[in-house]
Structures are given as structure tokens and as C-alpha cells.
Amino acid sequence: MKKIIKHVLVPEHKKLSEKEKKLLLEKYHITIRALPQILKTDPAIQDLSVKEGDVIMIKRKSPTAGESIYYRVVVSSE
């Protein structure tokens, strides 16, 4: 598990609190369905104890912006 998180291809994943989640949705005037998704079984979020509907903040290393922030909502893997 630790090995995966240290891998160069894997950016930092962080779970948003309910309050942060609400602020995010208000900021962009969107519902949670508009966010890109991440499966609950995704290897990179196994240590975060997530449930469906949680929002994951991802700090990507970007070649164009240095660091960019992306959000994904946790969905069940059908």
C-alpha cells in the first residue's frame, strides 16, 4: 500500500471534509454529479477510508502549471 503512494505516477490524494465539499460545490455552482469520478476500489484511496459521495482532492504535478488541483467524487464500482 505504501509502495503505491510513493510511486512517481501517483499524485497526492486527500479526502475533503463535508464542509470543504459544500464550499467546493458552491464555488463552482455545481451538483456532485458534475464532478469526475473515482472508483471506491481505486488502489490510491484505499488508506483514506472513503465512502460513496466523498470528494477526493488530488494535487497533480503538472508540466504546465507546476501544481494543479483536481477533484473526483467517490462512486461504487458497480
Partner 1 sequence: MTAEQIIKEYSKELPEKIINDLLENLPKKISDKKVKEIVEEVVKEYKEMQITPAESVGIITAESIGEPGTQMTLNTFHFAGVSEMNVTTGLPRIIEIFDGRKDIATPMMNIYLKKPYSEGKDIEKVALRLKETLLEEIAQEFYINIADMSVEIQLNKEQLDKIGLTNQDVINSINKGIKGIKVKEKDNTLTVTKKQETDNLNEIYSLKEKLKKVFVTGVKHIKYVLPVKREGEYIILTSGTNLKDVMELDFVDSTRTTSNDIFEVEKVLGIEAAREAIIQEVYKVMQEQGLNVNIRHIMLVADAMCAMGKVQGITRYGIIREKASVLARASFETPMKQIMQASLMGEVDKLNSVVENVMVNQPVPVGTGLPGLAVKVIKGRIGGYEGEKDEKKSKAEKTAKKEIKKEEKKTTKTKTKKAKSSKSKNKE
- Chain center to CA of 29: 18
In 1-78, DSSP assigns E strands to: 12-15, 37-39, 55-62, 66-75
Pull the grid cell for residue 57. 482532492
Question: Is there binding between residue 72 and partner 1 (CB under 8 A)?
Answer: yes
Interface pattern 25-54 for partner 1 (x via CB under 8 A): -----------xxxx--xxxx---------
> Total residues contacting partner 1 (rule CB under 8 A)?
29
What does the longest C-alpha to C-alpha distance in the chain come to? 37
What is the Cα–Cα distance from 14 to 37, expressed in whole angstroms? 14
CB of 22 to partner 1, least distance (A): 21
Residue choice 14, 18, 23, 68 for contact with partner 1 (CB under 8 A): 68
Interface residues with partner 1 (CB under 8 A) are 3-4, 6-11, 13, 36-39, 42-45, 58, 60, 62-68, 72, 75, 77
